[in-house]
């Protein structure tokens, strides 16, 4: 329903309201509105899109609390008036009331700088529709002038006044205050500390406070356990009862609160309720933080190039291709399949190369043949690769349409093993368990890692030492034949892998530089511009920010985020995860050195690894700095011996190029029930996992 634009009527704003309302604004409302605006900006070329939504909360007497906000379906008519979908508004509000019975529709919000005549018409519409007899109107200015110290939010009431002997509605300012509960403070604190690069300074104060409490509780628990063991020993007669000690124990016990525990008790119910509230708050804060990071990244990518790359056409073509392929698989109408498989790390190079090569092959496939990119990790783990998700979001690619280790078997079963062809990108040996038995089906390899000598019959079999596999894919496809969004993705990948073509990083080759020039030229006619240096530098900065933003990931997620797994013919398994933190920060993220050893033990057990080498990487002024954690679980036979042999090998004369030195970051957990661990500083930052992996292959071959 349209709100009349009230042509000729001025949206006058009077002085402060005389209604004496006490309006309380909760931070969740502000977060919801800013998120709405950010998403609108990411999806439109309008520099300052206007967004409109509803405000809900409670009203008790003269006190109104705005608890939440939600989007409304609104459009503009020919006269500039707002057209509301009233049916949607009522259904949306009913859903909220079903969950929060005390919530009422309090009014509406809009972004902008000041009310207009059309806004007064909305007030009239809401009254006439019976939504609210006196709705409030909130205006949030998303781009306040520089130096503004006050919150750029105004709240208005509409009052009926007699002006020039005529009853006229006008807006009047209404004062408000900000209030947040404990859960909101935690959530807002988490979001407020959002940082593109995880550092100690960007940590939430809530996390620090909670960590202090956790340590205090752990220390108290440990001391109580000592007292309990003593009392049990006295009771069993194995220790002498010392009256002085018993009096001290009694004094301590009397200071502790008495809590009756057990299912159904008041303490248990209250504890579970608070625990659930805390978990929910943490999850919401994490989701909000992640959404903010993705929105920010998409916005910045749009600034760089993607806004003019015709992303919509590319996204439509990719979606149609992959949906058609899966439909053929589901209906069992596919007669053959080409699987373009990335490596088990599923980093940005692996994912983008698999997509680009599969996209190129799709038009060359015979009738009945489906072509699918296969990602090397389960779908649930892909969001842990923040630079991958940022790049896919910027180009509007739906990652759920890719094949994964848990879905690729469905494709093999649909067409039959003999009808499957495998193309490997960014690795040269089949390691995915579902495809290992199909090694003879590999007939193409494009890779930049050390040649492991497998699949000699593959053609093409292109394995060259360049900075990025995306460079080889670009050469084989020819950049001029790439859709601009795909060229954009390949360019971002080359820059990440070569550290922005920096010679000091020791990765870039002349082929990488040539591929970068070709990809920039492919993008330039569609919005990339002629200033290739500015495009390259800006794109690299945004990719680095996304890559190193691991602030929301746990220790277990960091280990699973970017890892490669190996198994020797003798059955010795090992893992090489990459973590974008330094050693000290990684220990803190785990909760301490002992907790890190436990986390590594769980990780090794899940991956059937006899040892783990964690590659730690952090951005620095010169590019990146590197460290290494070598861990052997207690379950491995002669764990200490294996650890010493491995460390000696890595720091030996033959491998002095790594410039490894032991440090004290993990010294507290040097030898625990969970295993043995050593932390090494790596002086040569140019030696990445691509160099370490062949060394470990050499080490395990000598065992």
pLDDT category of residue 445 using cuts at 50, 70 and 90: very high
HSE-CB of 406 using CA atoms within 13 angstroms: 6
Of the two residues 314 and 668, the one the predictor is more confident about is 314
pLDDT category of residue 65 using cuts at 50, 70 and 90: very high
Q: Do residues 505 and 486 lie in contact, with contact meaning Cβ atoms separated by under 8 Å? A: no
What is the pLDDT, as a whole number, of residue 7?
41
Give 623-647 as a 3 state SS string.
EEEEEEEEEEECCCCCHHHHHHHHH
Kindly report which listed range (192-201, 325-334, 373-382, 573-582) carries the lowest average pLDDT score. Answer: 192-201
Q: Do residues 373 and 336 lie in contact, with contact meaning Cβ atoms separated by under 8 Å? A: no
Q: Tokens at residue 295, please?
A: 């929105």
Residues listed for the chain: 703
What is the pLDDT, as a whole number, of residue 76?
81
The arrangement of secondary structure in 13-179, i.e. its CATH architecture, is 3-Layer(aba) Sandwich (3.40)
Kindly report which listed range (56-70, 486-500, 517-531, 685-699) carries the lowest average pLDDT score. Answer: 517-531
Q: What are phi and psi of 93, to 5 degrees?
A: -65, -35
Mean pLDDT of 447-456: 93
Residues pairing with 631 in the sheet: 612, 677
Of the two residues 442 and 685, the one the predictor is more confident about is 442
What is the pLDDT, as a whole number, of residue 470?
96
What is the pLDDT, as a whole number, of residue 662?
75
Distance CA(389)–CA(600), nearest Å, equals 26
DSSP code per residue over 381-437: GGGG-HHHHHHHHHTT--GGGSB-TTTHHHHHHHH-GGGEEEEEES-SS---TTTGG
pLDDT category of residue 551 using cuts at 50, 70 and 90: confident
Tens of pLDDT along 117-162?
788 888 888 888 888 888 999 999 988 887 777 889 999 988 876 6
Distance CA(523)–CA(301), nearest Å, equals 13
HSE-CB of 440 using CA atoms within 13 angstroms: 4
Of the two residues 290 and 575, the one the predictor is more confident about is 575
Q: Do the two domains 13-179 and 555-701 of this chain adopt the same fold? A: no
Mean pLDDT of 611-640: 88
What is the pLDDT, as a whole number, of residue 187?
61
- Evaluate if residue 659 carries a pLDDT over 50: yes
pLDDT category of residue 39 using cuts at 50, 70 and 90: confident
Mean pLDDT rounded to a whole number for the chain: 83
Of the two residues 475 and 505, the one the predictor is more confident about is 475
pLDDT category of residue 425 using cuts at 50, 70 and 90: very high
- Evaluate if residue 305 carries a pLDDT over 50: no
What is the pLDDT, as a whole number, of residue 218?
76
- Evaluate if residue 401 carries a pLDDT over 80: yes
pLDDT category of residue 669 using cuts at 50, 70 and 90: very low
Q: How, if at all, do strands 136-140 and 153-163 pair?
A: antiparallel
What is the pLDDT, as a whole number, of residue 202?
45
- Evaluate if residue 611 carries a pLDDT over 60: yes
Tens of pLDDT along 73-105?
888 877 777 888 888 898 888 888 888 888 999
What is the pLDDT, as a whole number, of residue 4?
52
Supply the DSSP symbol for 527.
Answer: T
Mean pLDDT of 426-454: 94
Of the two residues 534 and 682, the one the predictor is more confident about is 682
Domain 555-701 indexed as CATH 3.10.310.20: yes
Question: Distance between the two ends of the chain, CA-based, in angstroms?
Answer: 77
- Evaluate if residue 199 carries a pLDDT over 50: no
pLDDT category of residue 430 using cuts at 50, 70 and 90: very high
Look at domain 305-547 and name its CATH class. alpha beta
The domain ranges of the chain are 13-179, 205-284, 305-547, 555-701
Q: What radius of gyration do the chain's Cα atoms show? A: 31
Mean pLDDT of 488-497: 94
Tens of pLDDT along 260-273?
656 667 777 777 77
Q: Do residues 59 and 116 lie in contact, with contact meaning Cβ atoms separated by under 8 Å? A: no
CA 120 to chain centre: 41
Q: What are phi and psi of 396, to 5 degrees?
A: 60, 35
Q: Is 175 exposed, middle or buried (0-12, 13-18, 19+ CB in 10 A)?
A: exposed
Mean pLDDT of 435-445: 94
Q: Tokens at residue 489, please?
A: 């993705």
Of the two residues 650 and 464, the one the predictor is more confident about is 464
What is the pLDDT, as a whole number, of residue 115?
86
Mean pLDDT of 187-198: 53
Most confident of 181-190, 317-326, 550-559: 317-326
Mean pLDDT of 613-619: 90
Of the two residues 116 and 1, the one the predictor is more confident about is 116
What is the pLDDT, as a whole number, of residue 104?
92
């Amino acid at each position: 329903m349209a709100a009349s634009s009230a042509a000729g009527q001025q949206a006058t704003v009077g002085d402060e309201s005389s209604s004496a309302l006490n309006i309380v604004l909760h931070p969740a409302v502000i977060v919801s509105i800013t998120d709405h605006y950010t998403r609108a900006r990411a999806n439109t070329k309008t520099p300052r899109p206007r967004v409109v939504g509803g405000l809900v909360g409670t009203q008790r007497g003269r006190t109104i609390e705005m608890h939440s906000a939600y989007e409304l379906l609104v459009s503009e008519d020919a006269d500039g008036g707002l057209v509301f979908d009233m049916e949607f508004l009522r259904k949306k509000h009913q859903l909220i009331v079903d969950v929060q019975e005390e919530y009422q529709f309090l009014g509406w919000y809009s972004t902008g700088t000041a009310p207009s005549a059309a806004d007064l018409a909305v007030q009239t519409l809401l009254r006439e529709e019976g939504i609210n007899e006196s709705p409030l109107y909130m205006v949030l200015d998303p781009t306040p002038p520089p130096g503004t110290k006050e919150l750029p939010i105004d709240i208005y009431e509409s009052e009926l006044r007699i002006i020039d002997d005529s009853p006229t509605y006008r807006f009047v300012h209404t004062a408000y205050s900000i209030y947040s509960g404990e859960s909101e403070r935690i959530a807002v604190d988490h979001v407020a500390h959002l940082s593109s690069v995880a550092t100690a300074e960007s940590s939430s104060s809530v996390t620090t406070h909670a960590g202090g409490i956790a340590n205090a509780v752990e220390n108290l628990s440990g001391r109580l356990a000592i007292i309990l063991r003593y009392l049990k020993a006295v009771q069993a007669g194995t220790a002498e009862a010392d009256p002085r000690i018993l009096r001290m124990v009694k004094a301590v016990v009397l200071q502790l609160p008495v809590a009756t525990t057990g299912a159904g008790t008041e303490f248990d119910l209250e504890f579970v309720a608070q625990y659930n509230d805390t978990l929910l708050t943490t999850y919401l804060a994490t989701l909000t933080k992640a959404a903010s990071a993705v929105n920010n990244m998409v916005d910045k990518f749009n600034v760089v190039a993607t806004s003019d790359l015709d992303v919509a056409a590319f996204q439509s073509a990719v979606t149609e291709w992959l949906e058609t392929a899966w439909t053929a698989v589901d209906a069992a109408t596919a007669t053959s399949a080409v699987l373009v498989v990335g490596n088990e790390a599923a980093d940005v190079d692996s994912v983008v190369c698999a997509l680009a090569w599969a996209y190129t092959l799709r038009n060359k496939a015979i009738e009945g043949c489906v072509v699918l990119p296969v990602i090397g990790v389960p779908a649930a783990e892909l969001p842990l690769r923040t630079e991958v998700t940022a790049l896919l979001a910027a180009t509007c690619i739906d990652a759920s349409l890719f094949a994964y280790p848990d879905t690729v078997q469905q494709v093999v079963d649909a067409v039959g093993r003999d009808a499957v062809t495998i193309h490997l990108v960014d690795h040269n040996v089949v390691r995915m368990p579902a495809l290992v038995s199909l090694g003879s089906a590999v007939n193409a390899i494009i890779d930049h890692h050390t040649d492991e000598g497998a699949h000699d019959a593959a053609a093409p079999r292109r394995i060259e030492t360049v900075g990025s596999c995306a460079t080889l894919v670009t050469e084989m496809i020819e950049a001029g034949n790439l859709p601009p969004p795909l060229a954009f993705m390949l360019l971002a990948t080359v820059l990440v892998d070569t550290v922005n073509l920096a010679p000091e990083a020791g990765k870039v080759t002349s082929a990488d530089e040539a591929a970068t020039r070709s990809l920039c030229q492919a993008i330039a006619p569609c919005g990339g511009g002629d200033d290739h240096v500015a495009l390259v530098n800006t794109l690299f900065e945004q990719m680095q920010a996304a890559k190193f933003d691991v602030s929301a990931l746990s220790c277990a997620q960091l280990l699973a985020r970017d890892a490669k797994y190996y198994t020797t013919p003798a059955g010795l398994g090992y893992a090489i995860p990459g973590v974008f933190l330094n050693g000290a920060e990684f220990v803190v993220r785990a909760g301490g050195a002992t907790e890190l050893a436990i986390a590594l033990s769980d990780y090794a057990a899940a991956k059937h690894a006899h040892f783990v080498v964690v590659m730690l990487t952090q951005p620095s002024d010169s590019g990146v700095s590197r460290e290494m954690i070598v861990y052997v679980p207690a379950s491995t036979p002669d764990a200490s011996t294996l650890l010493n042999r491995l460390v000696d090998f890595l720091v030996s004369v033959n491998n002095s190029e790594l410039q490894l030195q032991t440090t004290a970051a993990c010294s507290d957990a040097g030898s625990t029930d969970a295993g043995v661990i050593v932390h090494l500083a790596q002086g040569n930052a140019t030696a990445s996992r691509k160099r370490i992996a062949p060394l470990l292959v050499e080490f395990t071959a000598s065992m």
